[in-house]
């Protein structure tokens, strides 16, 4: 009888969870705000009054306008948090957290396993408005610890210190340069 129960559990998959692949991006969440799902109004209701907030000035009429909202003491560590949301829809498109002092080792101890380390380079052929376009490059100067299944990208600077933690809902760069197309 035990044998039949074990066989049925194996074939039905009951009680067995399939691990998420570390290379698949999912939406990041910080203190109840999920990128791509939560709205600016949800953030104000949950996190309260921000330190400051302002809108971007689009270059042309067709450009997307964004709202930048800045908070103190919202992240998991000491530092500043900037929330970027689409001004028209109110949808949160990215959350950037700038820790005051955090090492790579401390960040990995906090977030745990299930990460990949990816190097990125800047795309040199893109226009001024796309100056932060990056692509995966084995020799790129940007080193980012990515928790893709959790939508978290940890940017590393000098001496493996964390310069930014971004909560996103998709890849932070392309897999190859746009200049090579």
Residue ranges of the domains in the chain? 26-56+64-180
Question: For residue 43, what are the contacts with CB-CB under 8 A and spacing of at least 6?
Answer: 33, 69, 83, 85, 92
C-alpha distance across the termini of the chain, in Å: 61
Give the count of beta carbons closer than 10 Å to the beta carbon of residue 34. Answer: 17
Single out the residue of 29, 48, 47 nearest to residue 38, CA to CA.
Answer: 29
Beta bridge partners of 167: 95, 152
Tens of pLDDT, residues 64-82? 889 999 999 888 899 999 9
Q: What is the pLDDT of residue 14?
A: 38
Judged by average pLDDT, the poorest of 2-6, 82-86, 94-98, 115-119 is 2-6
Q: What is the pLDDT of residue 130?
A: 42
> CA-to-CA distance for 8 and 2, rounded, in angstroms?
10
């Amino acid at each position: 009888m035990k044998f039949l129960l074990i066989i049925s559990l194996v074939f039905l998959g009951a009680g067995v969870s399939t691990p998420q692949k570390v290379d698949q991006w999912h939406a990041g969440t910080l203190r109840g705000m999920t990128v791509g799902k939560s709205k600016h109004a949800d953030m104000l209701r949950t996190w309260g009054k921000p330190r400051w907030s302002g809108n971007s000035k689009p270059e042309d009429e067709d450009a997307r306008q964004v709202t930048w909202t800045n908070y103190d003491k919202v992240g998991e560590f000491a530092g500043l948090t900037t929330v970027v949301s689409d001004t028209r829809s109110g949808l949160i498109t990215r959350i950037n957290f700038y820790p005051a002092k955090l090492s790579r080792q401390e960040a990995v101890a906090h977030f745990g396993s299930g990460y990949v380390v990816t190097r990125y380079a800047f795309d040199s052929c893109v226009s001024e408005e796309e100056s932060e376009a990056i692509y995966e490059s084995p020799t790129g100067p940007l080193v980012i610890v990515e928790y893709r299944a959790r939508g978290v990208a940890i940017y590393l600077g000098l001496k493996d210190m964390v310069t930014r933690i971004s909560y996103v809902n998709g890849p932070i760069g392309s897999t190859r340069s746009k200049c090579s197309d």
